């Protein structure tokens, strides 16, 4: 379902993106080309006043937002997801949050009020809140990062993990095209 928010903002979706029929996209949401939005995903940009120019969700090109992920921008709390990024199953993202290009956010992770630079690999069940994660960092399974001090010990991604990010982007970039043209309308 694609619909306006209370302020009347209608999502803007590139015609090469695929939005599963069971997904819900509401409000000032911009979805880039060749992006896949899976079953049960909710992307909601609440904005209660036309004077609030900040509240929005932008998802770049070649992204993959997997099943039952939730991306939510409350008033004055934008969410930006750059190109070639994979958001795995059951992830919750709240604004204000910025996620760089070529990132992977593992299943059931929660990200809020944070800045994640390019090529960051976050494993499953991580909780990321109020932090800035520098490029090419690795966040292990079940990590809880609630202050900037907690990010100091994060290591750089390995060559193998970097390969995973590249492979993940390549595989997921086919989702939009394959689903868009293989399902009956």
Q: Which residues contact 163 (CB under 8 A, 6 or more apart)?
A: none
Give residue 159's pLDDT band: very low, low, confident or very high (50, 70, 90): very high
Q: Using CA atoms, how far apart are residues 20 and 111, in angstroms rounded to an integer? A: 23
Indicate whether 102 pLDDT > 80: yes
pLDDT of 183 over the 90 cut: no
Domains of the chain: residue spans and CATH: 2-182 (2.160.10.10)
User: For residue 49, what pLDDT band results from cuts at 50, 70 and 90?
Assistant: low
**Mean pLDDT to the nearest integer, 59-87:** 95
155-156 and 137-139 beta bridge pairing: antiparallel
Distances (CA, A) of 111 to 3, 10, 18, 128, 185: 25, 25, 24, 5, 34
Q: Which two tokens stand for residue 111?
A: 């990200």
Tokens of 124: 């499953």
């Amino acid at each position: 379902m694609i619909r306006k928010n209370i302020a009347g903002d209608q999502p803007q979706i590139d015609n090469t993106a695929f939005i599963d029929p069971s997904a819900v996209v509401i409000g000032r949401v911009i979805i880039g080309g060749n992006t896949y939005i899976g079953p049960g995903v909710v992307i909601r940009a609440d904005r209660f006043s036309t004077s609030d120019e900040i509240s929005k969700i932008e998802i770049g090109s070649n992204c993959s937002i997997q099943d039952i992920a939730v991306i939510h921008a409350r008033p004055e709390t934008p969410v930006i997801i750059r190109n070639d990024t994979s958001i795995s199953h059951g992830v919750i993202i709240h604004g204000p949050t910025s996620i760089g290009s070529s990132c992977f956010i593992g299943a059931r992770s929660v990200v809020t009020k944070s800045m994640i630079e390019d090529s960051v690999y976050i494993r499953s069940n991580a909780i990321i809140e109020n932090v800035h994660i520098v490029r090419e960092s690795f966040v292990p399974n079940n990590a809880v990062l609630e202050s900037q001090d907690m990010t100091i010990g994060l290591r750089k991604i390995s060559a193998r993990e970097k390969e995973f990010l590249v492979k993940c982007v390549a595989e997921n970039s086919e989702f939009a095209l394959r689903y868009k043209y293989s399902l009956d309308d």
